[in-house]
Amino acid sequence: MRQLRICLSFIFFAQLFAALACSSSSTDAQGASGAAPGGTASVAGAATSGTAGSSGTAGSGGGTGPLGGGAAAAGASAAGATSVGGSGAGGAASSSAGTGGGSAGQAGQAGMGGTGGAASTLDKFSFFITSMKAMQRLSGSDMGFGGDLRYGTNSGLTGADKICTEIAETSMPGAGAKQWHALLSTVAGPVHARDRIGKGPWYDRLGRLVANNLTDLFQDRPATAASAIKQDLPNEDGVPNHRPDPAAPEDDNHHILTGSDTAGMLYTAEPRATCSDWTSSSTNNATTGDGVGRPRIGFSWTAQGRTNWISGQTEGGCGAGITGIGMENGGSNPSNPIVGSGGGYGGIYCFAMTP
């Protein structure tokens, strides 16, 4: 009997010790993240831009609790989320201490985003000059559109906006979904070019700044433009338009249609400066009677003291035509009543309303 009582006592204390040990281990497992079991709370880093960031390393496990319990679970790996451009933030393991718990797992390392690939540039792409090759392609003519920009629509402005949209999409798939407007003024309304293009900022095809806002934009040259493009504004490929083909000679192609003054308002100092509001390619450049006048142009690049990119001089006329390939013409020529008589092809400036 005495041996039986000793045996029963041993079993009782063994069960009691086992129960206490299990309670201690359970308490310690709460440690890394407060009430959450095992401290597994580590949030994924969210990339502000670019391609998906690389995964962060796992956090280290929690320490041993005072009653000898198991280690807290390791912090979860952090992964930068997919977005556009920039760097993704790393996952952060919770550091809240649980009752009697071990230390929290270390935060996952920061996931690094992309370096500004196509997605980032698409997000910014919001300005270009229509290149000669694009205007020839859409017009179906080597002479371009001239002053008639309706392009199958019922108005010059609507057609010009369509031209901008199609060229933007061809240059960068997806860009056509933006709301593109041509920087053109019209007598009807009147419509002022500066009121058609949003508030900025605007960037070229390669993501370079053209201007932060309207004040910066409507200067002799865009005040805050990147130095590589300030004096020679770029076409839809991001190429400064003075030499659209780097393998060919420079072109005298800087006359860009605007119908506007230096502030981006309708040009009224001379009559009929909008080719009948961009609906006519007539070569009758008279400013009275049935004449359609001579369009106002700006200079996409500077030459011989001609610098204003919006309003520099009045062209020879509204007829379709191209001059200036590989040469410097030195001004418009009323005896040659086309949109490019002084060096150009009837290009236009295009802006996305929302960069």
Looking at every residue in the chain, the average pLDDT score rounds to: 75
What's the CATH number where 140 sits? 3.10.100.10
Which has the closest alpha carbon to 204: 174, 225, 181, 219?
A: 225
Residue 4 lies in a domain: no
Whether residue 18 lies inside any domain: the answer is no
Structural domain includes residue 39: no
Higher confidence at residue 144 or residue 108?
144
Domain of 302 in residue numbering reads as 118-355
- Lowest mean pLDDT of 111-115, 240-244, 262-266, 300-304, name the range: 111-115
Asked whether residue 319 is domain-assigned, the answer is: yes
Find out whether 338 and 317 touch, Cβ atoms under 8 Å: yes
Number of domains present in the structure of the chain: 1
Per-residue pLDDT tens digits for 268-292: 999 999 999 999 999 999 999 999 9
Task: Give domain status of residue 112, yes or no.
Answer: no
Instruction: Quote the pTM value.
Output: 0.68
Q: Answer whether residue 64 is part of any domain.
A: no
Per the DSSP assignment, residues forming a β-bridge with 186 are: 191
Contact by Cβ (8 Å): 111, 55: yes
| 169-194 confidence digits (pLDDT tens) | 999 999 999 999 999 999 999 999 99
Say if 136 falls within a structural domain. Answer: yes
Q: Say if 191 falls within a structural domain.
A: yes
Measure the CA–CA gap between 73 and 60, rounded to whole angstroms: 8
Beta-carbon count within 10 A of 151 CB: 17
Burial tier of 346 (Cβ tally within 10 Å: 0-12, 13-18, 19+):
buried
